[in-house]
Amino acid sequence: MATSDFWQRVSASVSSSQEWAGASARDAVRGPRGTTRLWMVLDVITIVGCAVIATLYRKHAGLVNDARGFWHGTLIHGRSMGILLALLGFYAISLIITSRRLNLYSPTRLNNVLLEQRLSIQACLTAGLLLTGTLYLVHAADISRAIVLLTVGLVTILLSLRRLVYRLYLYRSFERGVGTRNILIVGTGPEAQALRHHLDGIRHLGYTFKGFIELPGSSPIQASSQSDVVGTLATLFQLARKQFVDEIFFTAPCERGIVQDALALARTNGVDLRIVPEMYDGLTWNSSIEYVGQFPTIPLHRGQVPEVALVFKRTFDYVFSILALLLLSPVLLAIAIAIKLDSPGPVFYFSERLGKKGHVFRCIKFRTMIRDAEKKRAGMMHLNEREGVLFKISDDPRITRLGRFLRKYSLDELPQFFNVLRGDMSVVGPRPPIGSEVHEYKLSHLRRLDVTPGITGLWQVQARQDPSFDSYISLDVTYIENWSFWLDFQIILRTIGVVFAGTGT
């Protein structure tokens, strides 16, 4: 099968099969390191907490007195703090190593809930047996076996419960279309069809099928699935950009060079790449097989996502939004009453917006316009003061008297903290666009939809009055590429100044 001109143009120098196989294996092993470390830290914290609870329960003493006894080596007669910490550390290390060998730190979506629970119990009990064996070897008869057994039992229950709660949270998010992974399948034959139906049938895997990629000379596709063919190899990564694709599955046999070129482009574009091992026997000798449901795959590339940082960002968003809604509840109530008294119509305005990876959600704001304002927009396009796809009129006649005040101080956007609680938005991020705007985006503009939209952002505090659409996009992309907690903190502080300055329109 000949490689297309497109692939020949974009392909860099092709490395040897051995070098490529080694790089593929390294990519696959690399995985989501941040998430693995976070789970390890949580395991250690759970172990320490369970050990403290078990000791307090068995000793029937106060927390302060036990802490002093532990520090001075008198909590357990004849045992110093160093020995106790060493034993606890040994149990933690044993649990982490066992969990890694059982792939409990691999992506949660790849295991089913029953298997994960069984492996969690197995890991905890195996580490517990190693601990009790060590106590026997060091003749630690003075250390209560009841405390040891209670600690192991508590760790087993809490770790299993934590993983179950997290998995249920993921399932609920997947049902709302949040956190799912978009995929393209290269090939249209029986294997591709089987993979598609398998992933569609196991919804808890969190995959969303976006289409087939047709290969020259591949087996004909069924007429019922012809509409699912979205492109060819020549347009693979353009489609991946438009569809916000996270993973590409190769299911049809093709030349090694084609997959090599695809791997190079996957690394450049940050897209994960998998192949079905039966179709590529001997292609990657050092790669491990990873099951997606019941389907064996070989991960050739796995992009690096700051998952731990995103977890902390989500936690901050949640806590910040709850505090903001509690502190501002009198203000929210006063604004709601004022809106009802000012003009006829509902208190809130709901607008369909596009969030991360094109996810559609209902954005909530206080109503600042008269009824049927959207119907009158088409007749006012000639008054637009912004460039490109943006629409803004400084003296918009549709805005109510109270609405002008709310917009001036950005008070109309306070209800969006409810969107943050739902996970549709973040406190800081690019503004969520409407569908008509995104339809006019160029391919490069879609970069701003790679992250969760925010209530405030870099553009709002730096160039809010700038009518340039290019500046709008540029600042959003700058934020995405340079994101950090410190940058979010700076933007929040600057937002407070912007709000009190009354620069909104």
DSSP conformation letters of 165-207: HHHHHHHHHHHTT-S-EEEEEE--SHHHHHHHHHHHH-GGG-E
Cα gap 1→217, rounded to integer Å: 8
Token pair for residue 460?
Answer: 């709002």
Q: Which of the residue ranges 203-207, 219-223, 432-436, 455-459 would you say has the lowest mean pLDDT? A: 219-223
Is the full-model pTM beyond 0.85?
A: no
The pLDDT-based confidence of 55 (bands split at 50, 70, 90) is confident
Among 25-34, 53-62, 97-106, 393-402, the minimum mean pLDDT is found in 25-34
Q: How confident is the model at residue 215 (pLDDT cuts 50, 70, 90)?
A: confident
> 401-408 and 329-342 helices cross at what angle (nearest 10)?
150
Q: Helix 307-327 to helix 329-342 angle, to the nearest 10 degrees?
A: 60
Contact status, residue 42 vs residue 162, Cβ threshold 8 Å: yes
Confidence of residue 182 (pLDDT cuts 50, 70, 90): very high
- How confident is residue 212, by pLDDT bands cut at 50, 70 and 90? very high
**Of 183-192, 252-261, 449-458, 472-481, the least confident:** 252-261
In this predicted structure, the answer to whether residue 401 has a pLDDT above a threshold of 90 is no
Name the H helices within 343-408. 401-408
Q: What pLDDT score does 8 carry?
A: 42
Phi and psi at residue 462, to the nearest 5°? -120, -30
pLDDT 10s digits, 271-327: 888 888 765 544 455 566 777 777 778 788 776 767 778 888 999 999 999 999 999
Q: Is the pLDDT of residue 334 over 90?
A: yes
Average pLDDT over residues 94-120: 84
Q: Are the C-beta atoms of 283 and 256 separated by less than 8 Å?
A: yes
Stretch among 27-36, 53-62, 394-403 having the lowest mean pLDDT: 27-36
Between 499 and 397, whose confidence is greater?
499
DSSP run (H or E) holding 321:
helix 307-327
More confident residue, 331 or 437: 331
Q: Check: CB of residue 423 under 8 Å from CB of residue 432.
A: no
Q: What is the pLDDT of residues 116-162, one digit of tens each?
A: 899 999 999 999 999 888 887 877 666 777 888 898 999 999 999 99
Quick check: 346 pLDDT over 60?
yes
Q: Residue 397 has what DSSP assignment? A: T
> Has residue 114 got a pLDDT over 60?
yes
Query: Among 84-88, 365-369, 373-377, which is the least confidently predicted range?
Result: 373-377
pLDDT of residue 190: 84
Domains of the chain: 5-30+180-304 (3.40.50.720), 33-175 (no CATH), 308-501 (no CATH)
